[in-house]
Amino acid sequence: MLYEINVKVPTEKEEEIEEVLYQLLSQGWETAYQEDRVVFRFYFKEDSPELEEVEKTLAKYPFVELEYKVFEEKNWAELWKANFKPLKVGKHLWVIPPWEEGFSTQGEVVILIEPGQAFGTGHHPTTQMMLEYIEHFALTKGQNSPYKVLDLGCGTGILAIACAKLLPKAKIWAVDIDEEALKSCLENLQLNQVEGRIIISKEVPAEKFDLILANIGYRELKNLSQKMVEISEKGKTNIFLTGILIEDAEEMLRIYEALGYRLVEKKFLKEWAFLWMEF
């Protein structure tokens, strides 16, 4: 069986609970607005260990209302198809589910994503900002250099795939600690015919990277800051950080600037912040 979970919160609590979900969930979610409430919608199998953790955590917030619907698991794909539509990002990128492969995108760069249960369909503001800046990096830094790229917390692999298509000579690693994410990532690499370009791993390799992508949240970015230094090369490494709420952006900047990074550019989309920094 499959559970549809609807997390209903007052509009003024949207940012607070979205940050909680961002820390808890390895998958994506949908966001809908109903008068004075926001609804976050996602799906779990009935035996998912994440479901219990989500319920325990959200029980601490008295203003949160949980609503459950039960579906046959065979309907999983149909649920996603109803909500995952083609999305234009940046100047030339399209994120498209495989059932929309005939969608007309002549002359554009197409990323096919089968969402599964991993995070990263392109519809979340943090993923959109990452994709926009990967494209910007490719256009301004040069597409044909042999960059070493790390997608840290790869989820569906959407960012690694974007790099494979926009940086054709790059060597790319997609890393995640979640087995479901790695499985979803591999399926999407195969869909996009870039599996030979990207190394999937549960461990960060002992390399120095030119570009590090980390859409993993404030707490993880803070805890991994020293690791970032280890895999950065002075005067060479660019890091893209997001999963950060706007109110946490300045603190994140201070943490990384103290380690020797310099802000290149920042962007805000809805309540989320994106930081491009150089080492």
pLDDT tens for each residue of 232-256:
999 999 999 998 889 899 999 999 9
Residues 58 and 114 in one domain: no
Q: Is the pLDDT of residue 47 over 80?
A: no
What's the longest Cα–Cα distance across the chain? Answer: 53
From 47, 81, 115, the end of a domain falls on 81
Residues 103 and 126 in one domain: yes
Average pLDDT rounded to a whole number, residues 76-92 = 75
Range from 70-84, 198-212, 265-279 carrying the lowest mean pLDDT: 70-84
Average pLDDT, the chain: 88
State the angle between helix axes of 158-166 and 125-141 in degrees (0 to 180), rounded to the nearest 10.
Answer: 20
Residues 130 and 230 in one domain: yes
Cβ proximity of 79 and 71 under 8 Å: yes
Residues 55 and 160 in one domain: no
Q: What is the pLDDT of residue 171?
A: 97
Q: What is the pLDDT of residue 147?
A: 96
Residues 151 and 232 in one domain: yes
pLDDT tens for each residue of 167-182:
999 999 999 988 888 9
Q: What is the pLDDT of residue 159?
A: 97
In angstroms, rounded to a whole number, what is the distance separating the alpha carbons of residues 124 and 116? 15
Residues 58 and 164 in one domain: no
From 81, 96, 123, the end of a domain falls on 81
Residues 166 and 55 in one domain: no
Angle at 143 between CA 206 and CA 145, to 5 degrees: 45
Residues 173 and 256 in one domain: yes
Residues 274 and 195 in one domain: yes
Residues 158 and 272 in one domain: yes
From 17, 52, 81, the end of a domain falls on 81
In angstroms, rounded to a whole number, what is the distance separating the alpha carbons of residues 29 and 182? 18
In angstroms, rounded to a whole number, what is the distance separating the alpha carbons of residues 108 and 106? 6
Average pLDDT rounded to a whole number, residues 128-139 = 96
Q: Is the pLDDT of residue 74 over 70?
A: no
Residues 35 and 159 in one domain: no
Residues 7 and 26 in one domain: yes
Q: Is the pLDDT of residue 229 over 70?
A: yes
Average pLDDT rounded to a whole number, residues 150-176 = 95
Percent of the chain at pLDDT exceeding 90 = 51
Q: What is the pLDDT of residue 179?
A: 84
pLDDT tens for each residue of 100-119:
767 777 778 999 988 665 56
CATH number at residue 42: 3.30.70.120
Q: What is the pLDDT of residue 81?
A: 66
Q: What is the pLDDT of residue 41?
A: 85
User: Which among 170, 166, 153 has a CA at the least distance from the CA of 192?
Assistant: 166
Cβ proximity of 93 and 131 under 8 Å: yes
Q: Quote the number of domains for the chain.
A: 2
Q: Is the pLDDT of residue 89 over 80?
A: yes
Show the tokens assigned to 42. 């996602």
Q: Residue 54 belongs to what domain range? A: 2-81
CATH number at residue 99: 3.40.50.150
pLDDT top residue among 79 and 270? 270
Amino acid present at 197: R
